[in-house]
Structure 1
């Protein structure tokens, strides 16, 4: 199987420590992180993805807002810089241990944080990165 992610979730997964919008959201995110840690590929998509699924039942889910779409655009540029090639919806990525380290290093250095500027989780992610990503849930991929 393949995990479907929008571009900014490629950054969110780097600092995910089990906090989220609701219990259903974090339970879903934990399952996704486990799949990624087990080696499932990622397919980039536009709009709501596998992470967004528990949030889509509301009247106006934030997943469709222009600010989130802009966050995806900026995140895609940052990930492209890390990969050394353009990324677009439909692309597949394999999250190797070395790629995870490169992405976390760029995130900690602030090189891939433009997409995070208006995110409500930015302070948490900054603290996680500054501490060296100690309690992140994406553990299995680190040691691969």
Structure 2
């Protein structure tokens, strides 16, 4: 019986000790970054009353929902080998969505055993098709390695 308790104690102790370290989960912002889009009106950063963003991430169009009274949004980009992501923008339910094609080159970087590999995006460019309430798109920082800087400005 003494040996059984000792074996159980060693098992529990080894389980507690081996319960991972800091790199078991990816919660320090080390994952694949999203693209930051800021809104402008009359060449000044401005708050939009409402905006709906969709993104085609390869497995279908993902609805990011309506955002109310915001000056910027974060949009995920495709993580497959596609060189572009289509983003759709709508400010009212009555208008048709405006398509913005965001093209880039990707670079994979190993982060940790818990996070695995993240994608960074370089040479980010955009093309606006059929302007609606979204009048133009302005280039910001042309690479995405974190979510600190604005990559695109949407002019309304």
TM-score of the superposed pair, with normalisation by structure 1: 0.29
Larger strand percent: 2
Report which of the two structures shows the higher radius of gyration computed on alpha carbons: 2
Indicate the structure whose relative CO is greater, using CA pairs within 8 Å and at least 6 residues apart: 1
* TM-score for both structures, normalised by structure 2: 0.28
